[in-house]
Structure 1
Amino acid sequence: MIRVGINGYGTIGRRVANAVQLQRDMKVVGIVKTRPDYVARVASSRFSIFVPDESYLKAFDDAGIKVKGVLSDLIRMSDVVVDATPEGQGKKNTPMYRTAGVKAVFQGGEEAGVADVSFNAYSCFDSAVGKSSARVVSCNTTGLARSLHALHSEFGVEHVDGTIIRRATDPNDHKKGPINALEPSLKIPSHHAPDLRTVLPVDIDTVAIKAPTTLMHIHVLNVTLKKEVQQSDVISAFSSRRRIMLVDGKDGVSSTAQVMDLARELGRDRSDMYELVIWRDAVRVSGRRVSYIQAVHQESDVVPENVDAIRALMGSMERDASIDATDSSLNIGGMKIYG
């Protein structure tokens, strides 16, 4: 049984904690919270609560929330720590993990150098096996890796041009924006292109635009393959991956609003859409050129990757066995609508 500590219980941390609890070969030792808020109160009924250090104890005690220990205690009790702390904090935490000899899974907000390897289950699981640390690439990069790896492994990818329409912030965040603007990234390519190359060696250029929405990201991808294909070939490649869900606009799934409503109809925990969503009726093929549109649920698409990263670091399962176990536990691919 792999003992997992969750350092950080925000958007990603809380979802990874729930996913780990569903695995037959893992257990959550505890979670780290910094504030005795409503999230901590709910979590305390399911998980042992830890705090960063002793200076946080009084606030939790005053709030009536029982604390089991501090972060250093959790680290000593864990085989792997999933670091889901705010961007940049993971790098600061690295010395603690190394000193304690505990393995660590970092998130995509950290620079690639924070870990031994960057991680995506489909494209580079084996490179993380037995390593001390891995960084699960960002939600956008995970989405890019899923669809492009499907194409690259089947047909070979020569070049990709991608436009990324990013959500402004997460649904529970009332402070960030923009509210009434489209905010382009003035750095071209955007950081997504070099980030993708840490897990999938393809030639790619990306531009990114932040939009006033909280639901999902949208990617518009134009791919040049190394050989000519038919539309049916591309659809088949996408359909072969459980972590890709095909939808059709003609069925009413014409925006990210309907995609998230579909997640609710599927009965998903927190209405999460772990799969990358691709509009089947928007896939266009002409010789070696393939164009398609995909949607990324930024709150949850990296969750299964975190679970697989834990197994890779521990060397406890081979790639396909881990993906199968994770997908089964989260019902990923169990409700494919098409394909």
Structure 2
Amino acid sequence: MLDVGVNGYGTIGKRVADAVAAQPDMELVGVAKTRPNFEAERAVAKGYPLYAAIEERADQFVKADIELAGLVDELVAESDVVVDATPSGIGAENKALYEDHDTPALYQGGEDAEMVDVSFNARANFADASGADHVRVVSCNTTGLSRLVAPLEEEYGIEKVRATLVRRAGDPAQSGRGPVNDILPNPISLPSHHGPDVQTIFPELAIDTLGLKVPATLMHMHSVNVSLDAEPDAAEVRELLDGESRLFVVPEKFGIDGAGKLKEFALDAGRPRGDLWENCLWGESVSMEGNDLYLFQAIHQESDVVPENVDAVRAVAGTADAAESVETTNDALGIGF
């Protein structure tokens, strides 16, 4: 069994903790939180040992009547691998802590690629993380694009990717995020950071990305054009993508016309928190014009990186290859509709 700690128990951390706890080959050592709140209370209610991420604030948990198992240093010392799910920039500050305990660490996509040994996507470069000390699980949008690029590159070859990302303004719980009534080029200069980030997974890929930020909270939306090195028909491409375990090709008969209905579908399907771990790709949007592929896909920013973090744990520890890990993770979480 792999002993796994999760440092940071917010939007991503609590989902990763649940995913780790569900794995047959992993044990959740505990989770770390900076302050007492409803998430800390829920962690303890679930039976997750809770550690204070900041020693000076440990007394706040006592005053809130929330039981602590110890401090974050103890969590790191007891873990074979730590998943750092702290806000962007904090992972870099925590790097020395993990090195002090000689504990391999996974970071989220908001950290700089330069601070880690490898950026990770399970579908594209699982083996590159084997034995690494510091691994960055790329962001939700980069994860979504990498999952799409990998099978297309393998089957047809890619001349160039062009993607416009319509990004949600914030997560549902982020009341301080905006815009409220605006549509913002984000960034105004080109490219957006997503293309260069995809190139941390596919260094030779030609890709241009643009970003917009809109007043929505549910999901990101991608409008994607891929110039292929071949000219397959749309049905063939659709079949290829439908065969990918973390691509959900939404059937036209479902009548799902946007992110709202996707989330409703996930809730009706019994998904925890209405999570969509897969890229959600509209089957009828898959179109070919010569060698140009066009499609729309939606990315659930709160959850698509969760199975990637689980797979990265195994990659770092060297306990499974890519196919074995993805299958185990998918089965444990119930990925696939």
TM-score category, normalised to shorter length: over 0.9
Q: Secondary structure at the match of 1:316?
A: coil
Aligned partners of 1:91 and 1:118: how far apart in 2? 14
Aligned partners of 2:184 and 2:82: how far apart in 1? 35
Name the stretch that deviates more: 35-44 or 205-214: 35-44
Aligned partners of 2:235 and 2:285: how far apart in 1? 13
Aligned partners of 1:166 and 1:9: how far apart in 2? 23
Q: Tell me if structure 1 keeps the 8 A contact 2:159–2:228.
A: yes
AA in 2 matched with 1:311: R
Counterpart of 1:130 in structure 2 is 131
Aligned partners of 1:161 and 1:120: how far apart in 2? 20
Instruction: Answer yes or no: is 1:216 the counterpart of 2:219.
Output: yes
AA in 2 matched with 1:25: D
Q: Secondary structure at the match of 1:195?
A: helix
Counterpart of 1:187 in structure 2 is 189
AA in 2 matched with 1:313: V
Aligned partners of 2:268 and 2:148: how far apart in 1? 24
Please state how far the C-alpha of 1:133 moved relative to its aligned partner: 1.7
Equivalent runs, 1:1-339 vs 2, <5 Å: 1-46=1-46, 47-184=48-185, 185-201=187-203, 202-333=205-336, 335=337
Please state how far the C-alpha of 1:287 moved relative to its aligned partner: 2.0
AA in 2 matched with 1:219: H
Aligned partners of 2:244 and 2:253: how far apart in 1? 22
Please state how far the C-alpha of 1:248 moved relative to its aligned partner: 3.6
Q: Secondary structure at the match of 1:43?
A: helix
Aligned partners of 1:72 and 1:293: how far apart in 2? 44
AA in 1 matched with 2:271: R
Aligned partners of 1:287 and 1:300: how far apart in 2? 35
- Once the two structures are aligned, what percentage of the paired residues are identical? 43
Aligned partners of 1:135 and 1:256: how far apart in 2? 27
Q: Tell me if structure 2 keeps the 8 A contact 1:248–1:254.
A: no
Please state how far the C-alpha of 1:54 moved relative to its aligned partner: 2.4
Aligned partners of 2:85 and 2:139: how far apart in 1? 12
**1:176-223 deviation digits (Å, cap 9, x = unpaired):** 111001111112110000000111231100000011000000000011
What residue ranges of structure 1 are gaps of 5+ in the alignment?
A: none
Aligned partners of 2:58 and 2:12: how far apart in 1? 24
Q: Tell me if structure 2 keeps the 8 A contact 1:141–1:195.
A: yes
Aligned residues: 334
Q: Secondary structure at the match of 2:320?
A: coil
AA in 1 matched with 2:214: A
Name the stretch that deviates more: 231-240 or 76-85: 231-240
Please state how far the C-alpha of 1:306 moved relative to its aligned partner: 0.2
Name the stretch that deviates more: 231-240 or 81-90: 231-240
Q: Secondary structure at the match of 2:273?
A: helix
AA in 1 matched with 2:72: L
Please state how far the C-alpha of 1:251 moved relative to its aligned partner: 2.9
Q: Tell me if structure 1 keeps the 8 A contact 2:34–2:54.
A: no
Return the TM-score normalized by structure 2.
0.97
Return the TM-score normalized by structure 1.
0.97
Please state how far the C-alpha of 1:148 moved relative to its aligned partner: 1.3
Aligned partners of 2:115 and 2:171: how far apart in 1? 24
AA in 1 matched with 2:60: A
Name the stretch that deviates more: 48-57 or 70-79: 48-57
Give me the CA root mean square deviation: 0.9
AA in 2 matched with 1:204: I
**1:268-287 deviation digits (Å, cap 9, x = unpaired):** 01110001000000111022
AA in 2 matched with 1:322: S
